[in-house]
């Protein structure tokens, strides 16, 4: 089954982020030549979660063991259905599917992680080999199980000074002394969407809400002094940390205007990013910014104002689907039986080959 030595693959990457915007699907073509992997995104699409799934996934952390087992299988069937329809609609053939799943629990300190979306169900629905459960191999080696994208940054995007993704959480990766360093920075879309939804908006479209606000200095001070921001990497964030550490501080200021809260969170993100770039060696292409937060004009403008390095904004397809692309690439490396998780990024004892393979 393993495809060792192939120089050409077509894979479908599937990514569900903590912000519950939807499932990103990216059908990708990878070609190995001149000792480098090159890629092309053939088709990509975000399938919004129906309200049924948004409600169910929002409540999953309070689910019983039986409810969690049921959700895992049902979500796998749903992922399989949308992947099958996506491939059929675009008349695409792929060698495999690589699915991140939806993170329900992630606590590296306690040594466990769980991404829902059963791989057997996806394989059965799509008639394709499926690679999933990418994080566990790193967790059992003492790593954070995150971030996983740095191997893609290293092998597909290494001409940039650093790569920053503004997803549910913001994260960064860059090369230092021949090793890829990576870590989660702070909440991003998870916090901004939480605030926008209080104003009856699904998200802060173009950052217009934050643009009309002012910085609440005491709130900014409290957030910046959270213990996480003074920790050295490797380190990672999960929804539990957001709920237990970040949100209680934000809620102390719930009497403030939503636009002021949003503006303050944008300032926090920009400051944390600025600090993270102090160690980064400049390259001609600058710092690559991707993820949904790259569409937040107010946040992006503030990042540019504070950054000591040029900021590079790629095509909309790369902005929105880079993570799905990289998960397709992680699946390729799994099939090649080559490391796809870097211990320099996660703090594990060794690099690892993360993933489980399910055959159709």
Q: What is the pLDDT along the chain (360 residues), one digit of tens a residue?
A: 455 668 999 999 999 977 788 999 999 999 999 889 999 999 999 999 999 999 999 999 889 999 999 999 999 999 999 999 999 999 999 999 999 999 998 888 899 999 999 999 999 999 999 999 999 999 999 999 988 999 999 999 999 999 999 998 999 999 999 999 999 999 999 999 999 999 999 889 999 999 999 999 999 999 999 999 999 998 888 888 999 999 999 999 999 999 999 999 999 999 999 999 999 999 989 999 999 999 999 999 999 999 999 999 999 999 999 999 999 999 999 999 999 999 999 999 999 999 999 999
Write down the architecture of domain 162-309 according to CATH. Answer: 2-Layer Sandwich (3.30)
Task: State the pLDDT at residue 3.
Answer: 57
Residues of the chain with CATH 3.30.420.40: 8-145+321-358, 162-309
Instruction: Single out the residue of 144, 141, 55, 71 nearest to residue 106, CA to CA.
Output: 144
Domain 8-145+321-358 grouped into CATH 3.40.190.10: no
159: helix, strand or coil = coil
Asked whether 1 and 10 are in contact (CB, 8 A), the reply is no
The model's pLDDT over 270-311, given as tens digits with 9 standing for 90+, comes to 999 999 999 999 998 999 999 999 999 999 999 999 999 999
Non-local (6+) Cβ contacts of 59 within 8 A are: none
Distances in Å between the Cα of 124 and the Cα atoms of 92, 118, 290 are: 18, 10, 32
CA 140/CA 158 separation, integer angstroms: 28
Looking up tokens 């954070």 gives: 144
Q: What share of the chain is helix, strand, coil (3-state, %, to 5)?
A: 45, 25, 30
Structure tokens that stand for 23 in this block: 């499932």
H/E stretch holding 47 reads strand 36-47
């Amino acid at each position: 089954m393993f495809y060792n030595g192939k120089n050409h693959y077509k894979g479908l990457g599937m990514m569900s982020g903590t912000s519950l915007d939807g499932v990103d699907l990216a059908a990708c073509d990878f070609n190995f030549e001149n000792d480098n992997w090159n890629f092309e995104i053939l088709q990509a699409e975000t399938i919004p979660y129906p309200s049924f799934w948004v409600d169910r996934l929002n409540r999953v952390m309070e689910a019983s063991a039986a409810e969690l087992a049921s959700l895992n299988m049902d979500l796998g069937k749903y992922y399989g259905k949308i992947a099958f329809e996506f491939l059929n609609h675009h008349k695409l053939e792929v060698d495999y599917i690589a699915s991140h799943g939806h993170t329900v629990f992630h606590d590296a300190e306690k040594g466990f992680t769980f991404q829902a979306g059963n791989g057997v169900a996806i394989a059965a629905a799509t008639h394709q080999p499926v690679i999933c459960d990418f994080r566990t191999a790193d967790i059992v080696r003492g790593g954070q199980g995150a971030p996983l994208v740095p191997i893609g940054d290293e092998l597909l995007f290494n001409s940039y000074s650093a790569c920053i993704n503004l997803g549910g959480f913001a994260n960064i990766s860059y090369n230092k002394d021949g090793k890829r360093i990576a870590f989660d920075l702070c909440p991003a879309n998870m916090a901004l969407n939480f605030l926008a939804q209080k104003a009856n908006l699904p998200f802060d479209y173009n950052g217009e809400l934050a643009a009309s606000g002012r910085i609440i200095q005491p709130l900014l001070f409290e957030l910046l002094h959270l213990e996480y921001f003074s920790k050295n990497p490797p380190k990672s964030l999960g929804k539990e940390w957001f709920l237990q550490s970040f949100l209680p501080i934000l809620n102390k200021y719930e009497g403030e205007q939503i636009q002021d809260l949003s503006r303050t969170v944008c300032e926090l993100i920009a400051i944390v990013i600025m600090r993270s770039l102090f160690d980064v060696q400049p390259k001609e292409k600058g710092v690559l910014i991707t993820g949904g937060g790259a569409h937040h004009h107010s946040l992006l403008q503030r990042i540019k104002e504070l950054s000591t390095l040029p900021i590079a904004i790629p095509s909309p397809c790369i902005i929105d689907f880079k993570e799905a692309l990289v998960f397709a690439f992680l699946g390729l490396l799994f099939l090649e039986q080559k490391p796809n998780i870097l211990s320099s990024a996660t703090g594990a004892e060794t690099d690892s080959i993360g993933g489980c393979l399910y055959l159709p």
